[in-house]
Structure 1
Amino acid sequence: MSRPFFIDTHCHLDDEAFAADREEVLARAQAAGVAVCIVPAVSLENLPAVVALAERHPGIYAAVGIHPHAAATCTPEGLRRLRAWARHPRVVAIGEIGLDFYRDLSPREAQRAAFRAQLELAGELGLPVILHQRAAASALLEELERWVAARPPARGVLHAFSGDLGMARTAVAWGFALGIGGPLTYRSAEGLREVVRAVGLPALVLETDAPYLPPHPHRGRRNEPAYLPRIAEALALLLQVPTDEVARQTTENARRLFRLPDR
Protein backbone atom coordinates (compact mmCIF):
# COMPACT_ATOMS: atom_id res chain seq x y z
CA MET A 1 0.00 0.00 0.00
CA SER A 2 1.42 3.40 -0.99
CA ARG A 3 1.88 6.08 1.66
CA PRO A 4 -0.28 9.23 1.69
CA PHE A 5 0.73 12.01 -0.70
CA PHE A 6 0.19 15.59 0.50
CA ILE A 7 0.22 19.03 -1.11
CA ASP A 8 1.00 22.03 1.10
CA THR A 9 -0.91 24.74 -0.74
CA HIS A 10 0.55 27.65 1.25
CA CYS A 11 4.00 27.83 2.85
CA HIS A 12 6.53 30.67 2.88
CA LEU A 13 9.69 28.65 2.27
CA ASP A 14 11.50 31.78 1.11
CA ASP A 15 11.13 33.26 4.60
CA GLU A 16 14.25 34.18 6.55
CA ALA A 17 13.17 31.66 9.20
CA PHE A 18 14.35 28.91 6.83
CA ALA A 19 17.62 30.53 5.77
CA ALA A 20 19.83 28.26 7.86
CA ASP A 21 18.27 24.89 7.04
CA ARG A 22 15.96 25.20 4.04
CA GLU A 23 17.25 22.04 2.35
CA GLU A 24 16.76 20.03 5.55
CA VAL A 25 13.22 21.40 5.85
CA LEU A 26 12.48 20.22 2.32
CA ALA A 27 13.97 16.81 3.05
CA ARG A 28 11.77 16.45 6.13
CA ALA A 29 8.73 17.43 4.09
CA GLN A 30 9.50 14.75 1.50
CA ALA A 31 10.02 12.16 4.24
CA ALA A 32 6.61 13.07 5.69
CA GLY A 33 4.91 12.59 2.32
CA VAL A 34 4.58 16.30 1.50
CA ALA A 35 5.82 16.08 -2.06
CA VAL A 36 4.47 19.40 -3.40
CA CYS A 37 4.54 22.89 -1.86
CA ILE A 38 3.12 26.13 -3.22
CA VAL A 39 5.07 29.20 -2.10
CA PRO A 40 3.21 32.53 -2.44
CA ALA A 41 4.93 35.87 -2.75
CA VAL A 42 3.78 38.78 -0.60
CA SER A 43 5.54 41.65 -2.35
CA LEU A 44 7.33 42.61 -5.55
CA GLU A 45 10.60 42.37 -3.63
CA ASN A 46 10.31 38.68 -2.83
CA LEU A 47 9.00 37.58 -6.22
CA PRO A 48 12.46 36.61 -7.55
CA ALA A 49 13.26 34.48 -4.48
CA VAL A 50 9.94 32.65 -4.64
CA VAL A 51 10.25 31.86 -8.34
CA ALA A 52 13.92 30.87 -7.92
CA LEU A 53 12.89 28.29 -5.30
CA ALA A 54 10.38 26.82 -7.74
CA GLU A 55 13.01 26.71 -10.47
CA ARG A 56 15.45 24.81 -8.25
CA HIS A 57 13.04 22.27 -6.78
CA PRO A 58 10.62 20.20 -8.89
CA GLY A 59 8.25 19.82 -5.93
CA ILE A 60 7.85 23.57 -5.42
CA TYR A 61 5.52 25.87 -7.36
CA ALA A 62 5.21 29.64 -6.98
CA ALA A 63 2.38 32.12 -6.66
CA VAL A 64 2.99 35.81 -7.32
CA GLY A 65 1.11 38.67 -5.77
CA ILE A 66 1.12 41.80 -3.65
CA HIS A 67 -0.14 41.37 -0.07
CA PRO A 68 -2.56 44.05 1.19
CA HIS A 69 0.14 45.35 3.55
CA ALA A 70 2.11 46.37 0.44
CA ALA A 71 -0.85 47.74 -1.52
CA ALA A 72 0.95 51.02 -2.27
CA THR A 73 3.31 49.15 -4.60
CA CYS A 74 0.43 47.95 -6.80
CA THR A 75 1.06 50.77 -9.28
CA PRO A 76 0.85 50.44 -13.07
CA GLU A 77 4.57 49.62 -13.07
CA GLY A 78 4.11 47.16 -10.22
CA LEU A 79 1.31 45.43 -12.11
CA ARG A 80 3.47 45.29 -15.24
CA ARG A 81 6.19 43.51 -13.27
CA LEU A 82 3.67 41.21 -11.66
CA ARG A 83 2.17 40.27 -15.03
CA ALA A 84 5.60 39.41 -16.39
CA TRP A 85 6.42 37.14 -13.43
CA ALA A 86 2.96 35.54 -13.57
CA ARG A 87 3.74 34.15 -17.03
CA HIS A 88 6.62 32.08 -15.65
CA PRO A 89 5.97 28.34 -16.18
CA ARG A 90 6.46 27.56 -12.47
CA VAL A 91 3.81 30.10 -11.38
CA VAL A 92 0.41 28.51 -10.68
CA ALA A 93 -1.58 31.33 -9.00
CA ILE A 94 -1.88 35.01 -8.19
CA GLY A 95 -1.32 35.41 -4.46
CA GLU A 96 -1.10 36.16 -1.67
CA ILE A 97 -3.61 38.94 -2.26
CA GLY A 98 -6.65 40.24 -0.41
CA LEU A 99 -7.70 42.58 2.39
CA ASP A 100 -6.41 43.07 5.92
CA PHE A 101 -8.44 45.50 8.02
CA TYR A 102 -6.99 44.17 11.28
CA ARG A 103 -3.53 45.69 11.03
CA ASP A 104 -4.52 48.37 8.50
CA LEU A 105 -0.92 48.78 7.35
CA SER A 106 -2.27 50.17 4.07
CA PRO A 107 -5.28 52.47 3.62
CA ARG A 108 -8.39 50.39 3.04
CA GLU A 109 -9.25 51.95 -0.30
CA ALA A 110 -5.70 51.31 -1.49
CA GLN A 111 -6.08 47.69 -0.42
CA ARG A 112 -9.33 47.38 -2.34
CA ALA A 113 -7.83 48.94 -5.45
CA ALA A 114 -4.81 46.62 -5.35
CA PHE A 115 -7.09 43.64 -4.76
CA ARG A 116 -9.33 44.49 -7.71
CA ALA A 117 -6.38 45.01 -10.01
CA GLN A 118 -4.86 41.65 -9.10
CA LEU A 119 -8.18 39.84 -9.43
CA GLU A 120 -8.42 41.26 -12.93
CA LEU A 121 -4.90 40.09 -13.68
CA ALA A 122 -5.76 36.59 -12.50
CA GLY A 123 -8.83 36.56 -14.70
CA GLU A 124 -6.85 37.83 -17.67
CA LEU A 125 -4.24 35.09 -17.29
CA GLY A 126 -6.65 32.32 -16.28
CA LEU A 127 -4.93 31.76 -12.93
CA PRO A 128 -6.52 30.96 -9.55
CA VAL A 129 -6.11 33.36 -6.63
CA ILE A 130 -4.77 32.78 -3.12
CA LEU A 131 -6.70 35.06 -0.80
CA HIS A 132 -5.72 36.66 2.50
CA GLN A 133 -8.51 38.03 4.69
CA ARG A 134 -8.34 39.39 8.20
CA ALA A 135 -11.16 41.42 9.80
CA ALA A 136 -12.43 42.16 6.27
CA ALA A 137 -14.82 39.33 5.45
CA SER A 138 -17.74 41.38 4.14
CA ALA A 139 -15.47 43.62 2.04
CA LEU A 140 -13.66 40.61 0.59
CA LEU A 141 -16.94 38.93 -0.37
CA GLU A 142 -18.15 42.17 -1.93
CA GLU A 143 -15.07 42.39 -4.16
CA LEU A 144 -15.18 38.68 -4.98
CA GLU A 145 -18.86 38.78 -5.91
CA ARG A 146 -18.12 41.47 -8.48
CA TRP A 147 -15.22 39.47 -9.92
CA VAL A 148 -17.07 36.16 -9.98
CA ALA A 149 -19.98 37.76 -11.85
CA ALA A 150 -17.67 39.36 -14.40
CA ARG A 151 -15.28 36.46 -15.00
CA PRO A 152 -16.84 33.04 -14.51
CA PRO A 153 -15.60 30.52 -13.71
CA ALA A 154 -13.48 31.96 -10.89
CA ARG A 155 -11.02 29.77 -9.01
CA GLY A 156 -9.09 30.23 -5.81
CA VAL A 157 -8.57 29.41 -2.17
CA LEU A 158 -9.44 31.37 0.96
CA HIS A 159 -6.11 30.89 2.71
CA ALA A 160 -6.11 30.16 6.46
CA PHE A 161 -9.88 30.29 6.43
CA SER A 162 -11.22 32.12 9.48
CA GLY A 163 -14.68 33.21 8.38
CA ASP A 164 -18.06 31.98 9.53
CA LEU A 165 -20.23 29.28 8.01
CA GLY A 166 -22.15 31.76 5.86
CA MET A 167 -18.95 33.04 4.29
CA ALA A 168 -17.72 29.49 3.75
CA ARG A 169 -20.89 28.39 1.99
CA THR A 170 -20.92 31.48 -0.21
CA ALA A 171 -17.26 31.02 -1.23
CA VAL A 172 -17.72 27.30 -1.91
CA ALA A 173 -20.81 28.00 -4.01
CA TRP A 174 -18.70 30.38 -6.11
CA GLY A 175 -16.12 27.64 -6.67
CA PHE A 176 -13.52 28.54 -4.06
CA ALA A 177 -11.72 26.12 -1.76
CA LEU A 178 -11.01 26.73 1.92
CA GLY A 179 -7.40 26.48 3.12
CA ILE A 180 -7.19 24.48 6.35
CA GLY A 181 -4.07 24.58 8.50
CA GLY A 182 -2.75 24.40 12.04
CA PRO A 183 -5.59 26.36 13.71
CA LEU A 184 -7.88 23.36 13.12
CA THR A 185 -5.98 21.65 15.97
CA TYR A 186 -6.42 24.54 18.45
CA ARG A 187 -8.90 24.18 21.32
CA SER A 188 -10.33 27.62 20.54
CA ALA A 189 -11.19 26.76 16.91
CA GLU A 190 -14.62 25.18 17.35
CA GLY A 191 -16.07 27.64 14.84
CA LEU A 192 -13.59 26.47 12.20
CA ARG A 193 -14.37 22.86 13.01
CA GLU A 194 -18.09 23.60 12.54
CA VAL A 195 -17.32 25.04 9.09
CA VAL A 196 -15.21 22.04 8.12
CA ARG A 197 -17.91 19.58 9.18
CA ALA A 198 -20.51 21.51 7.18
CA VAL A 199 -18.63 21.88 3.87
CA GLY A 200 -16.78 18.55 3.88
CA LEU A 201 -13.65 17.31 2.12
CA PRO A 202 -14.59 18.29 -1.46
CA ALA A 203 -14.24 21.97 -0.50
CA LEU A 204 -10.92 21.77 1.37
CA VAL A 205 -7.19 22.00 0.69
CA LEU A 206 -4.40 21.63 3.24
CA GLU A 207 -1.77 24.23 4.11
CA THR A 208 0.75 25.01 6.83
CA ASP A 209 1.40 28.76 6.30
CA ALA A 210 4.91 27.89 7.49
CA PRO A 211 6.75 29.32 9.35
CA TYR A 212 3.51 30.57 10.98
CA LEU A 213 0.52 28.87 12.66
CA PRO A 214 2.06 25.53 13.67
CA PRO A 215 -0.39 22.78 14.61
CA HIS A 216 -0.65 21.31 18.09
CA PRO A 217 1.63 19.98 19.61
CA HIS A 218 4.16 22.20 17.80
CA ARG A 219 2.73 25.55 18.89
CA GLY A 220 5.43 27.98 19.96
CA ARG A 221 7.90 26.58 17.41
CA ARG A 222 8.61 27.38 13.80
CA ASN A 223 6.09 25.69 11.54
CA GLU A 224 7.22 23.69 8.51
CA PRO A 225 5.63 21.56 5.76
CA ALA A 226 6.58 18.28 7.49
CA TYR A 227 3.84 19.07 10.04
CA LEU A 228 1.10 18.92 7.38
CA PRO A 229 0.19 15.27 8.14
CA ARG A 230 -0.70 16.35 11.69
CA ILE A 231 -3.34 18.68 10.21
CA ALA A 232 -4.59 15.85 7.97
CA GLU A 233 -4.89 13.56 10.98
CA ALA A 234 -6.95 16.15 12.87
CA LEU A 235 -9.17 16.61 9.83
CA ALA A 236 -9.63 12.84 9.47
CA LEU A 237 -10.62 12.54 13.13
CA LEU A 238 -13.06 15.41 12.83
CA LEU A 239 -14.76 14.01 9.71
CA GLN A 240 -14.44 10.38 10.81
CA VAL A 241 -12.68 9.24 7.64
CA PRO A 242 -9.26 7.60 7.15
CA THR A 243 -6.24 9.91 6.92
CA ASP A 244 -5.46 8.34 3.54
CA GLU A 245 -8.82 9.59 2.27
CA VAL A 246 -8.08 13.10 3.52
CA ALA A 247 -4.73 12.97 1.71
CA ARG A 248 -6.30 11.66 -1.50
CA GLN A 249 -9.20 14.09 -1.64
CA THR A 250 -7.31 17.25 -0.62
CA THR A 251 -4.49 16.38 -3.03
CA GLU A 252 -6.97 15.98 -5.86
CA ASN A 253 -8.66 19.24 -4.89
CA ALA A 254 -5.32 21.08 -4.96
CA ARG A 255 -4.27 19.52 -8.27
CA ARG A 256 -7.55 20.54 -9.89
CA LEU A 257 -7.50 24.06 -8.43
CA PHE A 258 -3.89 24.86 -9.37
CA ARG A 259 -3.79 22.62 -12.47
CA LEU A 260 -0.84 20.70 -11.15
CA PRO A 261 0.48 17.62 -12.97
CA ASP A 262 0.10 14.13 -11.57
CA ARG A 263 2.92 13.08 -9.28
Structure 2
Amino acid sequence: MYVDSHCHLNYTGLVEHFDDVIQRAKDAHVSHMVCICSRLDEFQSITKLTEHHDNIYCSVGIHPHDCGESEIATSSQLVELAQHPKVIGIGETGLDFFYENSPKEQQIENFKNHIKAARKTNLPIIIHTREADDETIEILKKTTQEEGPFPGLIHCFSTDKKVADCALELGFYISISGIITFKNADNLRDIVKTIPLERLLIETDAPFLAPVPKRGRTNEPSFIPHTAKMLADLFDLDSEELGRITSNNFFKLFTKAQF
Protein backbone atom coordinates (compact mmCIF):
# COMPACT_ATOMS: atom_id res chain seq x y z
CA MET A 1 0.00 0.00 0.00
CA TYR A 2 1.26 3.47 -0.92
CA VAL A 3 0.06 7.00 -0.27
CA ASP A 4 0.78 9.70 -2.85
CA SER A 5 1.19 12.63 -0.49
CA HIS A 6 1.46 15.28 -3.21
CA CYS A 7 -0.08 15.34 -6.68
CA HIS A 8 -2.02 17.74 -8.89
CA LEU A 9 -4.94 15.69 -10.18
CA ASN A 10 -6.65 18.84 -11.47
CA TYR A 11 -3.83 19.66 -13.90
CA THR A 12 -3.89 19.14 -17.64
CA GLY A 13 -2.71 15.65 -18.50
CA LEU A 14 -4.54 14.07 -15.56
CA VAL A 15 -7.92 15.71 -15.13
CA GLU A 16 -9.04 14.79 -18.67
CA HIS A 17 -8.56 11.12 -17.80
CA PHE A 18 -9.41 11.39 -14.13
CA ASP A 19 -11.34 8.13 -13.73
CA ASP A 20 -8.67 6.14 -15.56
CA VAL A 21 -5.91 7.78 -13.49
CA ILE A 22 -7.69 6.85 -10.27
CA GLN A 23 -8.26 3.27 -11.42
CA ARG A 24 -4.60 2.86 -12.40
CA ALA A 25 -3.60 4.20 -8.98
CA LYS A 26 -5.83 1.62 -7.33
CA ASP A 27 -4.32 -1.13 -9.48
CA ALA A 28 -0.85 0.03 -8.36
CA HIS A 29 -1.89 -0.27 -4.68
CA VAL A 30 -2.04 3.48 -4.09
CA SER A 31 -4.57 3.71 -1.28
CA HIS A 32 -4.78 7.49 -0.81
CA MET A 33 -3.84 10.67 -2.67
CA VAL A 34 -3.58 14.35 -1.78
CA CYS A 35 -4.48 16.80 -4.54
CA ILE A 36 -2.46 19.91 -3.81
CA CYS A 37 -3.86 23.41 -4.23
CA SER A 38 -1.53 25.98 -5.82
CA ARG A 39 -3.97 28.87 -6.36
CA LEU A 40 -7.12 29.89 -4.55
CA ASP A 41 -9.02 30.14 -7.83
CA GLU A 42 -8.58 26.37 -8.32
CA PHE A 43 -9.69 25.42 -4.81
CA GLN A 44 -13.35 24.85 -5.67
CA SER A 45 -12.56 22.60 -8.63
CA ILE A 46 -10.12 20.60 -6.49
CA THR A 47 -12.62 20.02 -3.70
CA LYS A 48 -15.17 18.84 -6.26
CA LEU A 49 -12.69 16.21 -7.44
CA THR A 50 -12.22 14.95 -3.89
CA GLU A 51 -15.82 14.91 -2.71
CA HIS A 52 -16.76 11.76 -4.60
CA HIS A 53 -13.71 9.76 -3.52
CA ASP A 54 -13.14 8.77 0.10
CA ASN A 55 -9.44 8.20 -0.55
CA ILE A 56 -8.62 11.56 -2.14
CA TYR A 57 -7.87 14.58 0.04
CA CYS A 58 -6.64 18.07 -0.75
CA SER A 59 -4.88 21.12 0.63
CA VAL A 60 -5.44 24.86 0.40
CA GLY A 61 -2.71 27.31 -0.45
CA ILE A 62 -0.87 29.50 -2.93
CA HIS A 63 2.36 28.36 -4.57
CA PRO A 64 5.23 30.87 -4.41
CA HIS A 65 5.09 31.18 -8.22
CA ASP A 66 1.53 32.46 -7.97
CA CYS A 67 1.67 34.91 -5.09
CA GLY A 68 1.89 38.22 -6.89
CA GLU A 69 0.35 41.11 -5.01
CA SER A 70 -3.22 40.22 -6.04
CA GLU A 71 -2.73 36.58 -5.06
CA ILE A 72 -1.45 36.87 -1.49
CA ALA A 73 -3.80 34.97 0.80
CA THR A 74 -4.54 36.16 4.30
CA SER A 75 -4.27 33.63 7.09
CA SER A 76 -7.99 34.15 7.77
CA GLN A 77 -8.87 33.18 4.19
CA LEU A 78 -6.81 30.03 4.44
CA VAL A 79 -8.27 29.10 7.82
CA GLU A 80 -11.81 29.54 6.52
CA LEU A 81 -11.21 27.40 3.42
CA ALA A 82 -9.43 24.78 5.51
CA GLN A 83 -12.70 24.01 7.27
CA HIS A 84 -13.72 21.95 4.24
CA PRO A 85 -13.77 18.31 5.41
CA LYS A 86 -11.40 17.18 2.66
CA VAL A 87 -8.68 19.77 3.40
CA ILE A 88 -5.91 18.13 5.41
CA GLY A 89 -2.98 20.51 4.86
CA ILE A 90 -1.95 24.13 4.24
CA GLY A 91 -0.04 24.80 1.03
CA GLU A 92 1.75 24.31 -1.05
CA THR A 93 3.62 27.38 0.00
CA GLY A 94 7.21 28.41 0.59
CA LEU A 95 9.89 30.24 -1.35
CA ASP A 96 11.16 29.80 -4.91
CA PHE A 97 13.89 32.19 -6.00
CA PHE A 98 14.94 30.10 -9.01
CA TYR A 99 12.34 31.79 -11.19
CA GLU A 100 11.20 35.38 -10.79
CA ASN A 101 7.50 34.70 -11.15
CA SER A 102 6.71 36.54 -7.92
CA PRO A 103 8.68 39.19 -5.99
CA LYS A 104 10.65 37.85 -3.03
CA GLU A 105 8.87 40.14 -0.59
CA GLN A 106 5.49 38.85 -1.72
CA GLN A 107 6.65 35.25 -1.43
CA ILE A 108 7.88 35.81 2.12
CA GLU A 109 4.62 37.48 3.17
CA ASN A 110 2.62 34.69 1.56
CA PHE A 111 4.73 32.04 3.30
CA LYS A 112 4.31 33.67 6.70
CA ASN A 113 0.53 33.88 6.24
CA HIS A 114 0.44 30.16 5.50
CA ILE A 115 2.45 29.46 8.64
CA LYS A 116 -0.10 31.45 10.66
CA ALA A 117 -2.90 29.42 9.10
CA ALA A 118 -1.12 26.16 9.84
CA ARG A 119 -0.83 27.21 13.48
CA LYS A 120 -4.47 28.24 13.74
CA THR A 121 -5.78 25.04 12.14
CA ASN A 122 -3.09 22.66 13.42
CA LEU A 123 -2.89 21.31 9.87
CA PRO A 124 0.56 20.50 8.43
CA ILE A 125 2.14 23.13 6.24
CA ILE A 126 3.36 21.81 2.87
CA ILE A 127 6.58 23.58 1.94
CA HIS A 128 8.18 24.15 -1.46
CA THR A 129 11.72 25.53 -1.40
CA ARG A 130 14.01 26.16 -4.35
CA GLU A 131 17.13 28.34 -4.37
CA ALA A 132 15.87 29.80 -1.08
CA ASP A 133 17.22 27.42 1.53
CA ASP A 134 18.71 29.98 3.92
CA GLU A 135 15.62 32.16 3.89
CA THR A 136 13.31 29.17 4.37
CA ILE A 137 15.36 27.89 7.30
CA GLU A 138 15.51 31.34 8.90
CA ILE A 139 11.74 31.85 8.73
CA LEU A 140 10.93 28.37 10.03
CA LYS A 141 13.39 28.55 12.92
CA LYS A 142 12.41 32.08 13.91
CA THR A 143 8.69 31.39 14.02
CA THR A 144 9.28 28.18 15.97
CA GLN A 145 11.48 29.96 18.50
CA GLU A 146 8.95 32.77 18.93
CA GLU A 147 5.69 30.82 18.88
CA GLY A 148 6.51 27.14 19.36
CA PRO A 149 6.43 24.09 17.08
CA PHE A 150 3.86 23.36 14.38
CA PRO A 151 3.42 20.41 11.98
CA GLY A 152 5.01 20.51 8.56
CA LEU A 153 6.40 18.76 5.53
CA ILE A 154 9.17 19.58 3.07
CA HIS A 155 7.69 18.39 -0.21
CA CYS A 156 9.69 17.02 -3.15
CA PHE A 157 12.95 17.18 -1.19
CA SER A 158 15.87 17.71 -3.56
CA THR A 159 18.06 20.31 -1.89
CA ASP A 160 20.90 20.53 0.65
CA LYS A 161 21.30 18.47 3.79
CA LYS A 162 20.95 21.61 5.91
CA VAL A 163 17.29 21.81 4.91
CA ALA A 164 16.72 18.18 5.89
CA ASP A 165 18.52 18.77 9.19
CA CYS A 166 16.38 21.84 9.90
CA ALA A 167 13.19 19.96 9.05
CA LEU A 168 14.09 17.09 11.35
CA GLU A 169 15.07 19.47 14.15
CA LEU A 170 11.65 21.13 13.89
CA GLY A 171 9.81 17.82 13.90
CA PHE A 172 8.83 18.05 10.24
CA TYR A 173 8.53 15.22 7.76
CA ILE A 174 10.29 15.00 4.39
CA SER A 175 8.65 13.80 1.19
CA ILE A 176 10.58 12.09 -1.59
CA SER A 177 9.60 12.30 -5.26
CA GLY A 178 10.68 10.57 -8.46
CA ILE A 179 13.81 12.72 -8.52
CA ILE A 180 15.36 10.07 -6.26
CA THR A 181 15.39 7.70 -9.28
CA PHE A 182 17.23 10.07 -11.61
CA LYS A 183 20.70 9.08 -12.80
CA ASN A 184 22.29 12.33 -11.59
CA ALA A 185 20.71 12.19 -8.11
CA ASP A 186 23.58 10.46 -6.27
CA ASN A 187 23.97 13.33 -3.80
CA LEU A 188 20.25 13.34 -3.07
CA ARG A 189 20.29 9.59 -2.45
CA ASP A 190 23.21 10.01 -0.04
CA ILE A 191 21.30 12.66 1.92
CA VAL A 192 18.06 10.69 1.98
CA LYS A 193 19.86 7.70 3.49
CA THR A 194 20.60 9.87 6.56
CA ILE A 195 16.92 10.71 7.15
CA PRO A 196 15.12 8.50 9.70
CA LEU A 197 12.58 6.23 8.06
CA GLU A 198 9.91 7.37 10.48
CA ARG A 199 10.09 10.89 8.99
CA LEU A 200 9.77 9.97 5.31
CA LEU A 201 6.80 10.23 2.96
CA ILE A 202 6.61 9.58 -0.77
CA GLU A 203 4.93 11.55 -3.55
CA THR A 204 4.69 11.86 -7.31
CA ASP A 205 4.18 15.63 -7.75
CA ALA A 206 2.20 14.44 -10.77
CA PRO A 207 1.93 15.40 -13.58
CA PHE A 208 5.57 16.45 -13.14
CA LEU A 209 8.80 14.54 -12.39
CA ALA A 210 7.95 11.08 -13.68
CA PRO A 211 10.38 8.56 -12.16
CA VAL A 212 12.70 6.26 -14.05
CA PRO A 213 11.64 4.23 -16.08
CA LYS A 214 8.71 6.53 -16.93
CA ARG A 215 10.80 9.63 -17.69
CA GLY A 216 9.34 11.83 -20.39
CA ARG A 217 5.78 10.72 -19.70
CA THR A 218 3.01 12.51 -17.84
CA ASN A 219 3.51 11.47 -14.24
CA GLU A 220 0.60 10.02 -12.28
CA PRO A 221 0.00 8.36 -8.89
CA SER A 222 0.28 4.84 -10.34
CA PHE A 223 4.00 5.50 -10.97
CA ILE A 224 4.78 5.84 -7.26
CA PRO A 225 5.94 2.20 -6.87
CA HIS A 226 9.06 3.11 -8.89
CA THR A 227 9.99 5.81 -6.39
CA ALA A 228 9.16 3.48 -3.52
CA LYS A 229 11.41 0.76 -4.97
CA MET A 230 14.41 3.09 -5.17
CA LEU A 231 13.79 4.35 -1.64
CA ALA A 232 13.35 0.81 -0.34
CA ASP A 233 16.65 -0.22 -1.90
CA LEU A 234 18.43 2.66 -0.15
CA PHE A 235 17.22 1.34 3.21
CA ASP A 236 17.59 -2.35 2.36
CA LEU A 237 13.85 -2.94 2.62
CA ASP A 238 11.31 -4.46 0.29
CA SER A 239 8.83 -2.12 -1.36
CA GLU A 240 5.90 -3.45 0.63
CA GLU A 241 7.56 -2.58 3.95
CA LEU A 242 8.61 0.83 2.64
CA GLY A 243 5.03 1.46 1.59
CA ARG A 244 3.72 0.45 5.00
CA ILE A 245 6.16 2.72 6.84
CA THR A 246 5.62 5.79 4.67
CA SER A 247 1.85 5.31 4.72
CA ASN A 248 1.86 5.13 8.52
CA ASN A 249 3.98 8.28 8.58
CA PHE A 250 1.45 10.01 6.35
CA PHE A 251 -1.44 9.33 8.73
CA LYS A 252 0.64 10.40 11.73
CA LEU A 253 1.30 13.76 10.09
CA PHE A 254 -2.02 14.35 8.33
CA THR A 255 -4.24 13.52 11.26
CA LYS A 256 -7.38 14.83 9.56
CA ALA A 257 -7.08 12.09 6.92
CA GLN A 258 -8.78 8.80 7.68
CA PHE A 259 -7.34 5.40 6.81
The answer on 1:230 being equivalent to 2:218 is no
What residue in structure 1 maps to residue 12 of structure 2? Answer: 16
Which SS does the other structure have where 1:209 is aligned? coil
Contact map agreement 2:46 2:58 (CA 8 A) in 1: yes
Distance 1:261 1:109 in 2: 33
User: Identity of paired residues, percent?
Assistant: 36
The answer on 1:184 being equivalent to 2:180 is yes
The answer on 1:122 being equivalent to 2:134 is no
What residue in structure 2 maps to residue 175 of structure 1? Answer: 171
What residue in structure 2 maps to residue 239 of structure 1? Answer: 235
What residue in structure 2 maps to residue 61 of structure 1? Answer: 57
Contact map agreement 1:157 1:176 (CA 8 A) in 2: yes
Note closer, same or farther for the CA distance 1:73–1:67 as it changes in structure 2 (3 Å cut): farther
Contact map agreement 1:210 1:223 (CA 8 A) in 2: yes
Contact map agreement 2:181 2:230 (CA 8 A) in 1: yes
Distance 1:164 1:198 in 2: 12
Give matches, 1:133-148, under 5 Å: 133-148=129-144
Q: What do residues 180-228 of structure 1 show as CA deviations (whole Å, max 9, x unaligned)? A: 0100000111111011111131121000000000000100000000011
| More divergent stretch after superposition (146-155 vs 38-47) | 146-155
Which SS does the other structure have where 1:210 is aligned? coil
The answer on 1:73 being equivalent to 2:73 is no
Equivalenced residue count is: 258
Segments of 5+ residues of structure 1 without an aligned counterpart are none
Which SS does the other structure have where 1:13 is aligned? coil
Distance 1:75 1:197 in 2: 36
What residue in structure 2 maps to residue 108 of structure 1? Answer: 104
Find the partner of 1:199 among 167, 179, 195: 195
Contact map agreement 2:175 2:202 (CA 8 A) in 1: yes
Distance 2:256 2:240 in 1: 20
- Kindly state the Cα deviation for residue 74 of structure 1 after the two structures are TM-superposed: 4.4
- Kindly state the Cα deviation for residue 260 of structure 1 after the two structures are TM-superposed: 4.7
Which SS does the other structure have where 1:148 is aligned? helix
Distance 1:122 1:140 in 2: 16
TM-score of the superposed pair, with normalisation by structure 1: 0.94
The answer on 1:149 being equivalent to 2:145 is yes
Note closer, same or farther for the CA distance 1:44–1:262 as it changes in structure 2 (3 Å cut): closer
| More divergent stretch after superposition (50-59 vs 35-44) | 50-59
Distance 1:161 1:261 in 2: 22
Q: What do residues 127-157 of structure 1 show as CA deviations (whole Å, max 9, x unaligned)? A: 1111011111111111111222234332111
Contact map agreement 2:35 2:59 (CA 8 A) in 1: yes
Find the partner of 1:208 among 200, 204, 207: 204
| More divergent stretch after superposition (247-256 vs 161-170) | 161-170
- Kindly state the Cα deviation for residue 73 of structure 1 after the two structures are TM-superposed: 3.4
Which SS does the other structure have where 1:179 is aligned? strand
The answer on 1:166 being equivalent to 2:140 is no
| More divergent stretch after superposition (239-248 vs 213-222) | 239-248
Distance 1:74 1:122 in 2: 18
Distance 1:7 1:49 in 2: 22
Distance 1:164 1:20 in 2: 36
TM-score of the superposed pair, with normalisation by structure 2: 0.95
